[in-house]
Amino acid sequence: METAAQTEVGSRQRGVYLKVYDFFSSVKLAVVVFFLLATGSILGTVIEQGLDPQEYIERYGEKWYYWINLFNLTNLYHSWWFTLLLALLATNLAVCLSKRLPSIWRAYYVVDCDFTHNLVQNLKNCTIIKFQGNAEEAKHKIASLLKGHKYKLWVENNPPENSAEDISIFAAKGRIGRLGSTITHISIFIILTGTVVSSAIGFRSFYPVYEGQPLYVPQGDFYVSLDKFWIDYNENGSIKDYFSKLSVVDHGKKMMTKTIQVNDPLQYKGFWFYQSSYGLAWDRVDKALIRIIDKKSGKIVVEEALDFRKEKEIKGTGLRLNVTNFVSHFAYDAQRKQVYAKSPEHENPAVQLEIVEDGNLIATPWLFYDPKLHNMFPIEKSKFDFILADYRSPQYSGLQMAKDPGVNLVWIGSGLLMAGLFISFFIFHRRLWIKIEPSEKSALIYLGGLTNKDSYGFEKELKSIVESF
Amino acid sequence: MFNSFFLSDILLWVYLIASCCYIVYMALKKDWIGHLAFALTVLGWLVNTAALVVRTIETGRAPYANLYETMVLLSWLVIMGYIAIELKYSSRLRIVGAVIVTLAFLAIGAAAMLPYRYQAIEPLIPALQSNWLILHVITTFVGYAGFAIAFGIGIMYLLKERSEQRGKPSFFDRFPSSELLDDLNYKFIAIGFPFVTLGIILGAIWANYAWGGYWSWDPKETWSLIVWFIYAGYFHGRLVRGWRGRKTAYFSIIGFIAVVFLYWGVSFVLPGLHAYA
Ligand code: HEM
């Protein structure tokens, strides 16, 4: 009794196991997953990705935002459910592959010389040819003909079947076409693995780099310096291209120099440096022109061009000035009590000036470039007013740095994908079964075949073979 | 003025007259009208070739950089595909031209109606100055052309199947049998799919060279993936679940509608990196 119950449980378990196996290996599931991935992706192009929550609430309202947030629709392609769908696709592929591999291998490998007349005659396109000549001649004729059509032949004289005189020929070509779908499926697996590696250990970051101020790359422990940055223009004044001459300095040694541009990055030790943008610095100046005005007379005493963060003595005034900070778009964070640049655009530029008068630090005001804001904060302790008359910001070259070992897997997978698609769509597995039956002075040839695809082309080929007799 | 716009205006007329000839051929079933239609199509293709060559000379680069240029390229590829059918199947499938040439006519017509900024010759922005881009565009458009032809054949299939079921003489008698149409439908998708796949891969390689990331889920990339999933669904339905006929015809029509959205809709409706083409 006990054992019977056990087997029943066992078979029920096996039943469940089989059901799960069938579910995960079914092509229906694949088509459903394709459909869900496509629909999900459409959603991601309709709802703009990666905006601030506030923006979504304005567009869709609080109630909808709850759902948008719940399903991670603001970062849809990295959401739990989209990832789950991709994982489902991968599982589906793996299980399906393991299930089908034996039968694919058989179709690829098996050579079938041991067959009957019946088999040939039951083929849809079977033809019977009367050949003027003996069986050997017929065999040679067929062999040379099929070789001309690039078939590979397996010939068996006197097969174990019945009439000892018969000759069986099995011919096939393009059997690698059977492996096309397998190669394709494996390639998808590799590509998916590559994207997982990319998101796990790949990284990208953006750096503004200035001439003469090397960029330290901590992940690789080396420096990249910008030797020169320049822009080429078209005749109509639009930008043609822009270039950065970069040098890599590794432990004090100059390892390489390359001029990069958009579409032509520099590579060093697996790190890639891309020319991504350029612009005026938002946090520094080369020079600031400070106008010093005598409060009493209202006359300009002097205009001084100051270097950034380099204190300078102004002769005959008792002043020492230092431009310590710059922001391109002035904004004040009241909580942290900090000035910051709201954007890299030069919307409202301002410098911070350290003023030492007669040996005492008397103030560190922000001076605005905008004439409407001149003298916003007059400095009471000073004999002078200070105005930011002009400034010059350095140009930075925007470099995108990336290191991503996953990329290589993606390229390997892509290559295999193309190979697999090509094989599966353009190489057809065609098989012919031929019986030669000798009679008095002639021979009868039974010829028929199968193809896995492109039956139209196959019939045309068969016809031309038959007509050659 | 002998420039590419002039040539594409002529082209519009040639394709229009050719496609009218095909329709007359369907109605009257006179072979000489069919020959005339085909001769006009070949003439159109030559003019189309000239339009591409002249454009290349005018711009000093491959003609792929804006919507107008790619439409002229697309119609050139589609008609080339049709001429290939004609050569392979002799004149048995000539009537396919009735749909395909009409598609090419519509493509050129749409290109002619584009606002000028989508037609103008502009210097390439830095991101577009890449040899990968040329390969990316050409393979992608070979793929689109394959899908466009499959779409035309899918429509023919639906018309033909209906008239076959009625069993009465009809306007569509000259259409090839629904079986052959179904087969052709598959063949052209089987050409379109690997090329679009290659186009996506080349686009990824190019993006990796230009921006340091092979995939960024911008709307054009995402839509190309959507199209790719639709046709992947088609293959699996057809090969493994045995879908034939009407089902696959619908698939090729839905797939192509997605292609049109990928090509035009995304450029006009959705923001992203590909906004220029
Ligand atoms: C994105 C993922 C996939 C791609 C690109 C892909 C691609 C292909 C291609 C190109 C073929 C050959 C089609 C033909 O010869 O007409 C094929 C066949 C097939 N696929 Fe997929 N496939 C994918 C996912 C899957 C999944 C998840 C399954 C799981 C059930 C699956 C099951 C099959 C089967 C059973 C065949 C027939 C194989 C044969 O007879 O050789 N595929 N696939």
For A448, the enclosing helix (H) or strand (E) is: strand A443-451
pLDDT score of A283 more than 90: no
Q: Are A432 and A448 in contact (CB under 8 A)?
A: yes
Q: How many CB atoms lie within 10 A of CB A339?
A: 14
- Which tokens is A439 given? 């009679």
Phi, psi of B2 (to 5 degrees): -90, 75
Among partner residues A240, A274, A417, which is closest to B212 by beta-carbon distance?
A274
Least confident piece of the model among A226-235, A362-371, B160-169 = B160-169
**Minimum CA–CA partner of A237 in chain B:** B123
Name residues whose C-beta falls within 8 Å of residue A3's C-beta, 6 or more positions apart in sequence: none
Backbone angles phi, psi at A243, to 5 degrees: -135, 150
pLDDT band with cut points at 50, 70 and 90 for residue B167 = confident
**Residue from B121, B217, B243, B262 whose CB has the most chain A CBs within 10 Å, to mutate:** B217
Map tokens 């030559």 to a residue. B46
At residue B272, does pLDDT exceed 60?
no
What length is written for chain B? Answer: 277
What pLDDT score does A2 carry? 45
Rama region for A95: left / alpha / beta (φ>0; ψ in -120 to 50; rest):
alpha
Query: What mean pLDDT do residues B133-158 have?
Result: 92
Amino acid at A105: W
The reported pLDDT for the residue numbered A164 is 53
Rg (CA), chain A: 39
Phi and psi at residue A238, in whole multiples of 5°? -75, 165
Per mean pLDDT, which range of B47-61, B121-135, B155-169, B177-191 is the poorest? B121-135
pLDDT tens string A418-448? 999 999 999 999 999 998 888 777 888 888 9
Q: Which structure tokens are listed for B208?
A: 């990796």
- Atom 15 in ligand 1: residue holding the nearest Cα: A424
Q: Which of residues B261 and B130 earns the better pLDDT score?
A: B261
How distant is the Cα of B195 from the closest Cα of chain A, in angstroms?
9
A362's tokens:
């008397």
CB A82 within 8 A of CB A88: no
Helices (H), chain B: 4-28, 31-59, 67-89, 97-113, 131-166, 178-210, 219-239, 246-260, 266-269
What tens digit of pLDDT does each residue of B62-106 get? 777 788 888 989 999 999 999 988 888 777 778 888 889 999 999
With a 6 A CB cut-off, is B88 part of the ligand 1 pocket?
A: no
- What DSSP letter does each residue of B142-210 carry, written as one string? HHHHHHHHHHHHHHHHHHHHHHHHHTS--TTTTSPPHHHHHHHHHHHHHHHHHHHHHHHHHHHHHHHHH
Sign of the four-CA dihedral A231, A232, A235, A240:
negative
The encoded tokens of residue A141 equal 């004729």
Give the residue among A107, A102, A126, A136 at the shortest CA–CA distance from A25: A102
pLDDT at site A380: 84
Q: Who wins on pLDDT, A240 or A165?
A: A240
* pLDDT single digits (tens) B180-218: 888 889 999 999 999 999 999 999 999 888 888 898 888
Token pair, residue A248, equals 């890599």
- Residue nearest atom 37 of ligand 1, based on CA coordinates: B240
pLDDT given at position B168: 79
Distance of residue B274 Cα from the nearest chain A Cα, in angstroms: 13
Nearest by CB to A263, from B129, B217, B271: name it.
Answer: B129
Task: Report how far apart, in Å, the C-alpha atoms of A150 and of each of A146, A168, A187, A196, A429 are.
Answer: 6, 19, 29, 43, 12
Mean pLDDT of A368-379: 84
- Is residue A107 in contact with ligand 1, taking CB distance under 6 Å? no
pLDDT band of residue B277 (cuts 50, 70, 90) is: very low
Record: contact B237-A31, CB cut-off 8 A: yes
Which DSSP string corresponds to A171-200?
EEE-GGGGGHHHHHHHHHHHHHHHHHHHHH
Chain A partners within 8 Å of B230 (Cβ): 34, 38
Q: Give A14 to chain B, closest Cα distance, Å.
A: 26
Residue B275 — very low, low, confident or very high, per pLDDT cuts 50/70/90?
very low
Average pLDDT for B138-152: 94
Q: What is the C-alpha to C-alpha distance for residues A243 and A229, in angstroms, rounded to an integer?
A: 6
Inter-chain contacts counted by CB atoms under 8 A, chains A and B: 108
Q: Would you say residue A38 has pLDDT above 90?
A: yes
Mean pLDDT of A292-318: 89
Worst-scoring range by mean pLDDT, A63-72, A179-188, B13-22? A63-72
Kindly determine whether residue B225 and residue A276, on different chains, have CB atoms separated by under 8 Å. no
pLDDT the model gives residue A9: 63
Task: Summarize the confidence of residues A73-90 as an average pLDDT.
Answer: 90
For the four alpha carbons of A8, A12, A15 and A17, in that order, the dihedral sign comes to negative
Helix (H, G, I), strand (E, B) or coil at A425: helix
Query: What SS3 string covers A99-111?
Result: HHHHHHHHHHHCC
Delineate the domains of chain A, giving CATH numbers in brackets: 4-106 (no CATH), 111-174+428-467 (3.30.310.80), 185-280+397-419 (2.60.98), 287-394 (no CATH)
CA A385 to chain centre: 57
Residue B129's closest CA among B73, B61, B58?
Answer: B61
Report d(CA A81, CA A33) in Å as an integer: 12
Q: Which residues in chain A are closer than 8 Å to B198, comparing Cβ atoms?
A: 418
In this structure, of A36-40, A232-236, B181-185, the range with the lowest mean pLDDT score is A232-236
Nearest to B176 by CA among B192, B187, B161: B161
**0.95 exceeded by pTM:** no
Question: What is the four-CA torsion angle of A103, A109, A114, A116, rounded to 10 degrees?
Answer: 50
CA of B159 to the centre of ligand 1 (A): 30
Q: B121 φ, ψ to 5°?
A: -85, 110
- Chosen for mutation from B88, B235, B261, B266 (greatest number of chain A CBs closer than 10 Å) is B235
Distance (Å) from the alpha carbon of B226 to chain A's nearest alpha carbon: 5
Pair of tokens at residue A49: 């990705």
Query: For residue A260, how far is its CA from the centre of ligand 1 (angstroms)?
Result: 42
Backbone torsions φ then ψ of A204, nearest 5 degrees: -140, 140
Express each pLDDT in B233-261 by its tens digit.
Answer: 998 888 877 788 888 899 999 999 999 98
User: Contact A240/B123, CB-based, under 8 Å?
Assistant: yes
Confidence category of residue A199, pLDDT binned at 50, 70, 90: confident
- Is the CB of B204 less than 8 angstroms away from the CB of A410? yes
* Residue (of B183, B195, B190) closest to B89 by Cα position: B183
pLDDT tens per residue across span A321-368: 999 999 999 989 888 888 988 888 899 999 999 999 888 898 899 999
Is B240 touching ligand 1 by the criterion CB < 6 Å?
Answer: yes
Res B22 pLDDT > 70:
yes
Max distance between CA atoms of chain A, in angstroms, equals: 134
| Mean per-residue pLDDT over chain A, rounded | 87
Mean pLDDT value across residues A88-113: 87
Neighbours of A144 (CB within 10 A): 10
Interval A154-163 mean pLDDT = 63
